[in-house]
Amino acid sequence: MSNPDMKIVKENLEPIEPDIYEAFHDAWKDYCIIKKLVPILETRTRATIVNELARRKLINLLSEKPGVVIEESHESALFTINDIVSFKLKKGDGLGKSRSYRTQRAVAYHNHDEGNILWPQLNRVESQYVLDGLATELKSIYIVAQDESNNPLWKYPIMSDSIPLYQPQLPFPTLPFPTQPTTPPSDMYGPLEDLLPKKDENKGE
């Protein structure tokens, strides 16, 4: 088939947009809670956790809805709606691009040529969440169509009036940090000699 048709995609995804929104919203909220317990520095780890949480949430939300087929494989999920539109959950950059391992299956998903035998006659898109520049807030959620080179063809945002985007309040210190230790290390721990292992004077006799 030709490139995904935005009008057709909108018509089929509109009924489940609140579910997509809720899945990403709850995933980011849960991630912020996890981060308080276990500091996470790697951006790849963050993206994996958020995507996994969102995937599980959306599977639970859509599994009983008519017209929805969920295919779980390759550590991801493909959601097909009414045998017309399929989408994956991804992290986007706000311009419509996302990152994927360039496997044959990943490239084929965005190959919209007539000869695609894996997903014939399906409008294949991604649902992407976007963070702010500091990666501290969930900024927006988009439906995006891409070509096989990962270039965006078109995108549109999905919104929810019932659930505002989760924006955690970041704690700031109320007292200034001391510029130097108030107690010299030698006074806190005692003489350095007391911290070193004692030599056994009788050893070897």
- pLDDT single digits (tens) 85-144: 999 999 998 888 887 666 777 778 888 876 665 677 899 999 999 998 888 889 999 999
Helix axes 17-37, 43-62, angle to 10 degrees: 140
pLDDT in tens, 9-23: 999 999 999 999 999
| Cα–Cα distance, 92 to 37 (Å, whole number) | 26
Q: Strand pairing of 123-131 and 85-91?
A: parallel
The CA distance from 134 to 137, in Å, is 8
Does residue 59 contact residue 98 with C-beta atoms inside 8 Å? no
Whether the pLDDT of residue 164 is over 90: the answer is no
pTM, entire model: 0.75
What is the per-residue pLDDT across 29-78, written as a single tens digit (0 to 9) for each? 999 998 888 877 677 888 889 999 999 999 999 999 999 999 998 778 99
Q: How far from the centroid of its chain's Cα atoms is residue 154's Cα?
A: 21
